[in-house]
Chains A and B, each alone.
Chain A
Amino acid sequence: AQSVTQPDIHITVSEGASLELRCNYSYGATPYLFWYVQSPGQGLQLLLKYFSGDTLVQGIKGFEAEFKRSQSSFNLRKPSVHWSDAAEYFCAVGAIGTYKYIFGTGTRLKVLA
Chain B
Amino acid sequence: GAGVSQSPSNKVTEKGKDVELRCDPISGHTALYWYRQSLGQGLEFLIYFQGNSAPDKSGLPSDRFSAERTGGSVSTLTIQRTQQEDSAVYLCASRPLQGSSYNEQFFGPGTRLTVL
Instruction: Write the residues of chain A forming the contact surface with B, with a CB cutoff of 8 angstroms.
Output: 4, 9, 32, 34, 36, 41-46, 49, 51, 90, 92, 94, 99-101, 103-106
Contact = CB atoms under 8 A, between A and B. Distances in A.
Nearest to A101: B105
A92 B107 CA distance: 14
Interface of B: 4, 31, 35, 40-43, 45, 48, 50, 56, 91, 93, 95, 103-110
Contacts of B106: 46
A103 B107 CA distance: 14
Nearest to B91: A43
Given A43-B108, A43-B109, A32 B103 contact: yes
B103 A49 contact: yes
A51 B103 contact: yes
Given A99-B48, A99-B50, A45 B42 contact: no
A103 B4 contact: no
Q: Is the interface of B mostly helix, strand, loop or mixed?
A: strand
A41 B109 contact: yes
Contacts of A45: 107
Nearest to A104: B42
Contact of A46 (B4, B31, B45, B104): B104
A100 B109 contact: no
B107 A105 contact: no
Contacts of A90: 42-43
Given A43-B4, A44-B91, A105-B40, A100 B107 contact: no
Contacts of A41: 109
Contacts of A42: 109-110
B103 A103 contact: no
Contacts of B35: 103
Contacts of A49: 103-104
Nearest to B107: A43
Contacts of B104: 34, 46, 49
B80 to A, nearest CB: 25
Contacts of A46: 104-106
Contacts of B95: 99
Contact of B42 (A32, A99, A100, A106): A106
